[in-house]
Amino acid sequence: MTADYAVRDYAVRLGDDALILGHRLSEWCSRGPFLEEDLALSNVALDFIGRARMFYTYAAELTGDGATEDQFAYQRDCRDFTNHLIHELPRGDFAFTMARQYLIDVYSIAFMQALQQSSDERLAGIASKAIKESRYHLRRSEDWIMRLGDGTEESNRRLQDAVNELWGFTPELFEMDALEGDLVASGIAVDVTALKDDWERSVRSTFAEANISIPDEDWQVSGGRQGKHTEWLGHLLSDLQFVQRAYPGLEW
Amino acid sequence: MNAGANIPLMPVEQLERQLRRRNSSSPALWDVLDTVMDPEIPVISIWELGVLQDVEWQDDRIVVTITPTYSGCPAMTVIAEDIEAAMHDAGYDAVEVTTQLSPAWTTDWMSSAAKNKLRNYGIAPPAKDSEPSCPQCDSTNVKRISEFGSTACKSLYQCGDCAELFDHFKNF
């Protein structure tokens, strides 16, 4: 594997994270709890899909041979996707969607801050755009954690259920494998293990303030970076990729 | 007393952008691009918006460099198409639009003239370190209704005095 393919695969991973979460958010379109939230969810979805496009476009350039961003989004199957599992979990109720968003937003800001320092200028450039968006994403998701956690008995219960379900999917965000380890050594990738303590401190303090407890159960799931997914990804892709599967190569 | 304290400093990227235009050997190309408007806010041009970075001849073709506003902004595709169309109308056929991500676009690159145009159009312009004021009655008694308005770059506000709902172009 040449260095460029390692960077390409890394860009695809980050693109996959963004695309799959963006798709989950887009599922809320016309189903938001009220109009302003519907717009907000769709807009955040757009930001993530835009982020995916930037990573995939770069990956396509590194691949060469006329590869395009669309091939990464539409012409790969489950095992080729390398997103973290947390992104593919079904959208659940509004509390679940916002809990996931909050956990990801705190993570994204730290991650993009670090990626801005990448020796790969293109990745650093994407990060410098993405971080600005994640900052206002976080303003909103954190606000919702407070409102739901410190709201009614029902909103607190729903948010607590969501956090209980999500927590075991968060350790994966801080795992590294050989590919990322090598890229960290060459100053290209982010050392995610170094982000965990600050992330956890920040998340714990927000949840404490919102009367939400962090579950004690010691389970965790991972495998997304190796293409081992939950049963949910296939269903998501059947929706996301339907048109290109039915009419390969179709253009607008 | 520091007289300069309230005068906003121009970001260095903005200065460089203006110098590129001022020192350009093909000012006519820039003038053509002044006719390309933001598709969502048709009163300000892509130059005023801060999206247009450069336009220059490279061998026998024209390369236009733009910086995207938001990653997922659907207007960017339209802007690229509008640039090509405007260039073709002006008689330039070999045109390439390239995007430059870094330095990332910021509302600081929007001129004060552009901000006034936004306000007259009914959109509260980005304001650093302060809440927007109502574009209808100038009241500062305003409330944010939603972090997002009709597009990702705007949030939705309501005026507490004249009750008008208005978009605020976010400080970004």
Count of beta carbons in the 10 Å neighbourhood of residue B121: 14
Count of beta carbons in the 10 Å neighbourhood of residue A4: 12
- Average pLDDT score, chain A: 95
Count of beta carbons in the 10 Å neighbourhood of residue B140: 12
pLDDT band at A135 (very low <50, low <70, confident <90, very high): very high
pLDDT at B1: 46
Structure tokens at B95: 């045109």
Count of beta carbons in the 10 Å neighbourhood of residue A29: 12
pLDDT at B7: 61
Query: What's the CA gap between A148 and A99, in Å, rounded?
Result: 10
CA distance B21 to chain A (A): 23
Mean pLDDT to the nearest integer, A23-34: 95
Whole-Å CA distances, A30 to A33, A143, A230, A237:
9, 22, 26, 20
pLDDT band at A87 (very low <50, low <70, confident <90, very high): very high
Count of beta carbons in the 10 Å neighbourhood of residue B163: 10
Q: How many CB pairs under 8 A join A and B?
A: 72
pLDDT band at A64 (very low <50, low <70, confident <90, very high): very high
In this prediction the pTM is 0.88
Burial class (CB in 10 A: 0-12, 13-18, 19+), A11: buried
Peptide bond into B103 cis (omega under 30): yes
Q: Which of B73, B101, B150 comes nearest A126 by C-beta?
A: B101
Which runs of consecutive H residues, i.e. helices, occur in chain A? 3-26, 35-63, 69-74, 94-115, 121-149, 153-166, 178-185, 196-209, 232-240, 242-246
Q: What is the mean pLDDT of each run of 10 residues along chain B (172 residues)?
A: 58 90 94 94 93 94 92 86 96 94 89 91 87 92 86 88 93 83
Q: Which of A46, A50, A139 comes nearest B147 by C-beta?
A: A139
Mean pLDDT to the nearest integer, A92-118: 98
pLDDT greater than 60 at residue A63: yes
A185 at B interface, C-beta within 8 A: no
pLDDT at B145: 87
CA distance A139 to chain B (A): 9
Q: What is the DSSP string of A52-94?
A: HHHHHHHHHHHH-TT--HHHHHHS--GGG----GGGGS---SH
pLDDT at A1: 46
Interchain contact, B145 vs A132, CB within 8 Å: no
pLDDT at B8: 62
